Amino acid sequence: MNRETVISEFVTFLIEEGNWETSDRIYLTNRLLFLIGEADFLEENVSEHKTDCSPVELVDELVKIGQENKRIDESEYEVEALRGQLMDLVTPSPSQVNQRFNELYEVDKEEATRYFFELSQKNDYIKTREIARNIEFPVETEFGNLDITINLSKPEKDPKQIASSLTKQQSDYPKCMLCLENEGYAGRSGYPNRFNHRVIRTQIDGNEWGFQYSPYAYYNEHSIIFSKKHEPMVINRQTFQSLLGIIDWLPHYFVGSNADIPIVGGSILSHNHYQAGRFTFPLEKSEMRETFTLPDFSSVEAGIVNWPMSVIRLRSENKEELIEVADFILSKWRSYSDEDLSIVAKTSDGVNHHTITPIARKRAGKFEFDLVLRDNNTSEEFPDGIFHPHQNLHHIKKENIGLIEVMGLAILPPRLNREMIEVKRFLLDEAHEMAEYHETWATRIKETQQISRETVDAIVNKEIGLVFLQVLKDAGVYKLDEQGLEGFKRFIAYLKF
C-alpha cells in the first residue's frame, strides 16, 4: 500500500468514526501530514479500492512513514507518542465525551458505558491488539472454575517497588498514572503519553471522581474509578459508602478496592482508586459455606463464602445498614489477633497489619459486599508474607494478590509463556532448557500423569490452575482445615460481642 493510500484511508477512518465531517478532509490531511513529516500528498494517486487494514494497522504504517521522514526516531516514547497523537484525532474533546456520556446516561446507563467503552477501543486507548495476545483458559477446581490469564500485554510489577511507592517523594507532573492531569498529557521517557485518554467526571457522595477504562483490560469493561485528589489508598467507612455510591451510579457493574497496605495491596497505593466492570468473577458464583447473624444488624444477611480465601458476604436492601456492618467488621478485624494461627493485628513496632479487600455489587435487588480479610505480616519462614504465595509457588506466581486475583482471575507473568514450552518438552522427554525452579513441580507432574503430545497442553494448564488455587489458599488468613475453620468461627463469635 503506497503512502497516499495510507494517508487517505486513515483520514477516511477519522471522518467515519470521529467527530468530523467530509468537509474537514483537507484540514485533517494537513494535520496528518505535519504529524508524520510528509511534505507532499496527491490524493488523485489513491486507488478507490478501500483497504482491509484496521485503523491500528494504518497507524503502524503512518509511524513507519514518520520514521522514514525523520519526524520521530525509533525510541518507544516517540513511537507511542505519535500513535497517541494520531488516535487523538478520532477522539472527541473531554467536554464532548462527558456531554455525550451524560446525555446517554439520562436515558440508559448501560448505553452510556457502552458508548464510552467502544470509544476507548476505537481510539486504541484500550490496547485491544495487545490484549488479544494474552493466553486465557479456565481451570476446574473444587471451588468452580478459576480463570487463568498469562499476561503478554503488560509488564509485571515488582512487589518491592509497589511497597516503596508509598514513601517515594511525589514531585513529578502528573504525580502518578491515575491522576486526572494525565488526560491529554504528552508523556515522557519512561512515562506513557495520554493524548487519546478521556475521563468521565462524576460526583459520588459529594466527592469528585474520575471514571476511565483500563488500557490493558483483564476482563470485560475493566474500568478504574479514581479520586480527583492524589491521596493514598485507604479502606475505611467512606470506602464502603463510596463503593455503594458507585453501584448506585453504575448498577450493572461490580466495583471493588485493593487493600491499602503493602504485600496484600494493589499496584498503585499512592492514589485512592477502585476497579469496576461488567464481569462475573468466580468468587461471585460461590455460595455461602454457612450463615450467621449479627444481633445489632437484623436486616443484613451474613455468611462465610465457600472460597479458598477468607471472605465474609453481606447482603441487604438497606444500604446504610450494610455500610455500618462493613465498617463494624473492618474495625473489629483491625484489632483482632489469633496468634496460634499467626494472625497478628499489630506488631510490637506499632505497625498495623490488618485490612480488608472489599467488593460491592447489586444482585436480585439487594446490595452485596464481599469482605476479604487480609493480613500482611511476615516471618522468618515467610519473609515475603505469611499470607502471600509461599516460596514453593513463586515459579508460577510471586506477585501481590490484589483485587482481581482475590476474585478468582489469575494474572500470571509473561515469562510463563516461553517457560511452559520448555516444561512441556521436559514432560515429553524431549531436549529442553527448562528453568531449574520448575523442576520439582514438573517432575511431580511427570511422575503422576499419563502424558502424551495430545494431552500435555491440557495437563500443564490444569496444573497451573491448581498452583493458582494454592496461591489463594496461601493468601487466606483462615486455612480450609479444621484448625483454620475453627479460627474463622472464633472471629465470627468475636463480632457478636
State whether residue 292 is helix, strand or coil.
strand
Alpha-carbon span 123 to 55, nearest angstrom? 9
Give the Cα separation of 423 and 67 in Å (integer).
Answer: 40
> Which residue's C-alpha cell is 471493588?
256
Helices and strands of the chain, counted as H and E runs: 16, 13
Closest CA to 131 of 249, 241, 218: 218
Q: Please state, in angstroms and as integers, the Cα–Cα distance from residue 80 to each residue in 72, 124, 173, following that order.
A: 10, 11, 19
Give every CB contact of residue 398 below 8 A, 6+ residues apart in sequence.
159, 384, 389
pLDDT score, position 45? 65
Give the largest Cα separation in the chain, rounded: 83
Mean pLDDT of the chain: 94
What gap in Å lies between CA 319 and CA 324, rounded to an integer? Answer: 9
Question: With contact defined as beta carbons under 8 Å apart, do 393 and 471 qualify?
Answer: yes
- Alpha-carbon gap, residue 310 to 460, rounded angstroms: 28
Tell me the C-alpha to C-alpha distance, in Å, between residue 115 and each of 89, 109, 219. 17, 10, 17
Number of alpha carbons in the 13 Å side-chain half-sphere of residue 236: 5
Whether residue 174 is preceded by a cis peptide bond, meaning omega within 30 degrees of 0, is yes
Record the cell numbers describing residue 35, joined without a space. 504529524
Among candidate residues 234, 235, 237, the one with its CA nearest the CA of residue 328? 237
For 110-123, write each residue's pLDDT tens digit. Answer: 999 999 999 999 99
Q: Closest Cα to residue 271, out of 234, 218, 245? A: 234
| C-alpha cell at position 164 | 516503596
Given a cut of 70, the residues of the chain with pLDDT beneath it are 44-51, 154-171
What is the pLDDT, as a whole number, of residue 24?
96
Alpha-carbon distance of 314 to 367, in angstroms, equals 8
Mapped onto helix, strand or coil, the DSSP state of residue 196 is coil
Rounded to 5 degrees, what are φ and ψ at 3? Answer: -60, -45
Helices (H), 89-157: 94-107, 109-122, 128-131
Q: Helix H segments across 269-373?
A: 282-285, 319-334
